[in-house]
């Protein structure tokens, strides 16, 4: 089962990212690309808004009690729905998100936070980052641009057409890998991101 993880990070909700991913054309594109599971880490305090957005964009859904992935089934406030033939799982926060990514995720769509980017890159997953340009100093744009310049990920804004294009690129282009993060190449990459 091909799965996508959407992560907004643990501290700041990013409704525009969630809304973009839940748009019907995006769900349709994911299905066409063979994805049958969409896992969404929506952030603290966003559970009811998440379910409202699912209903608004995807339409009627039926709730499931379990997803069949222990790390998610045991997480607090996990909601699983079936809509348009896609399992959509939403959760607030997960302490062991790296295990989820490593064992169950094929593609990560993430906010442009450094921690989330590095988690996906270390685990060598395809990565699309969505810049939250409402944040102070627009630091996410700077971070995303640096990693995109290195051909490690695809960087977009919370826009349906940009996401559809990035999904096509993630299927047709090969991104660079950083490999083991305990090496000089990774150290050099972080240095270049930090100073340039």
* For residues 164-179, average pLDDT: 91
Predicted local distance difference test score (pLDDT) of residue 191: 60
Q: pLDDT digits over 66-125, tens only?
A: 778 888 887 777 888 888 788 999 988 888 889 999 999 999 999 988 888 988 998 999
pLDDT-derived band at 171, boundaries 50, 70, 90: very high
Dist. CA 111–CA 11, nearest whole Å = 12
- Which helix (H) or strand (E) covers residue 163, if one does? helix 160-172
Q: Which residues pair with 127 in a beta bridge?
A: 108
Please give the mean pLDDT across all residues of the chain.
86
Q: pLDDT digits over 144-159, tens only?
A: 998 898 899 999 999 9
Q: Which DSSP category does 136 fall into?
A: G
Domains of the chain: 2-195 (3.40.50.2000)
Dist. CA 55–CA 38, nearest whole Å = 15
């Amino acid at each position: 089962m091909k799965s996508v993880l959407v992560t907004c990070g643990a501290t700041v909700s990013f409704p525009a990212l969630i809304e973009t991913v839940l748009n019907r054309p995006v769900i349709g594109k994911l299905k066409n690309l063979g994805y049958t599971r969409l896992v969404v880490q929506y952030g603290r305090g966003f559970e009811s808004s998440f379910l409202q957005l699912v209903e608004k964009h995807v339409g009627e859904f039926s709730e499931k009690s379990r997803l069949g992935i222990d790390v998610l089934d045991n997480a607090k406030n996990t909601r699983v729905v079936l809509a348009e033939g896609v399992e959509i799982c939403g959760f607030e926060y997960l302490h062991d998100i790296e295990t989820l990514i490593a064992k169950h995720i094929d593609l990560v769509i993430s906010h442009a936070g450094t921690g989330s980017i590095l988690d996906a890159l270390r685990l060598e997953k395809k990565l699309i980052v969505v810049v939250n340009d409402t944040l102070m100093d627009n630091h996410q744009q700077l971070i995303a641009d640096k990693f995109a310049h290195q051909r490690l990920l695809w960087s977009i804004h919370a826009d349906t057409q940009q996401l559809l294009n990035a999904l096509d690129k993630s299927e047709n282009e090969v991104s660079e890998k950083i490999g083991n993060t305990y090496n000089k190449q990774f150290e050099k990459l972080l240095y270049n991101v930090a100073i340039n």
